[in-house]
A and B are shown apart, each in its own frame.
Chain A
Amino acid sequence: MKQIIIIALLALGFQHLNAQQYMDRSAYVGFFSETKMENIKADNNKGTLVYDAATGSIQMSALMKAFEFEKALMQEHFNENYVESDKFPKAVFKGRVENHTSLNFSKDGTYNVKVTGEMTMHGVTKKITTDAVFKVVGGKITCESKFNVKPEDYNITIPNTVRDNIASAIAITVKANLEVLKK
């Protein structure tokens, strides 16, 4: 009985928040490393993004093991040697859209915003500031951002033998389709 009450309360809570919370459970996170030696690309379509329109708070998470590389060997090295995904399975960004009151999801348009927050990866938390673009087209809301991440900032050590094959700053792309939060 107690459980039913809790579930009912939670359901009510979510309904209340529905008006303002948006989510994508299949957000895209990509990374691209470009060097003279080789280009390395990985795609992850399993990211989660939650945006609260009332407060402007935004949270995104991605599972390290869900990054798909072109080569199985690259994926293995990435998981086992670099990000140690058994120990640190996910990367999490928590922040806010600075000028979130300028966003109007009920009106078609392109909104350029600034996002600041903290990203935790490989057990290290760092501040991140980036530009993001929200687009509303026919009621469909998308959001996209690009920023750079330095592996060394997150205590990810790259052996000297392959240092020239991996860019010092990895380009990260995030793309999400925001829908009103529901199951």
Chain B
Amino acid sequence: MKKTILIIILILAVGGAATGYYLWNKPKRTAADEKPVASMSADDLLMAFQTDEPKANAAYLNKIIEVTGIVVKKENDDSGNEVVYLETTDVFGLVSCTMIPGTTSDATDGKEIKLKGICTGYLSDVVLTQCAK
């Protein structure tokens, strides 16, 4: 009897430790392994946020969005990740897409590209992070 209890406790402890270890080392969420919930032009995405930010936040925040647009420029941020800026018809705003660390896009200035990423919100640009092709 004592032995059974001991074994159960041991199994629970090992199970708990394994779950803890898994959670602690859980990989980050990226756009690579998820299907986009919406697909639209960079322009439509920016307009959605400019027209009604709370509504756009409710619809797109933290979701995987696929955008299509013309590449304005491509640069590396301070952490060395590739950032692709997509053109819009707005006088100022763009859609900025930061690629998954260590990956690159096929972006060429002036050419159209389709990328998907996690929508993190709107400042002057709509920001997508952890983007994938």
Contacts and interface: CB of A to CB of B under 8 A. Distances in A.
Contacts of A7: 91
Nearest to B124: A48
A45 B79 contact: yes
Nearest to B93: A183
Contacts of A37: none
Contacts of B124: 23, 25, 48, 50
Interface residues of B, number: 30
A25 B125 contact: yes
B10 to A, nearest CB: 25
Q: In the complex, which of the residues A7, A43, A61, A89 has the most CB atoms of chain B within 10 Å of its own CB atom? A: A89
A152 interface: no
A61 B123 contact: yes
A10 B91 CA distance: 7
Given A10-B91, A86-B62, A26 B120 contact: no
Given A10-B91, A89-B61, A63 B121 contact: yes
Nearest to A74: B24
A75 B58 CA distance: 20
A11 interface: yes
Given A26-B77, A46-B123, 12 more contacts: A14-B92, A26-B75, A28-B78, A45-B81, A46-B98, A46-B129, A63-B120, A65-B61, A66-B120, A66-B127, A89-B61, A89-B120
21 contacts: A25-B124, A28-B78, A45-B81, A45-B83, A46-B96, A46-B98, A46-B123, A46-B129, A48-B123, A61-B123, A68-B79, A71-B24, A72-B26, A72-B29, A73-B23, A73-B26, A75-B28, A86-B61, A86-B62, A175-B78, A183-B92
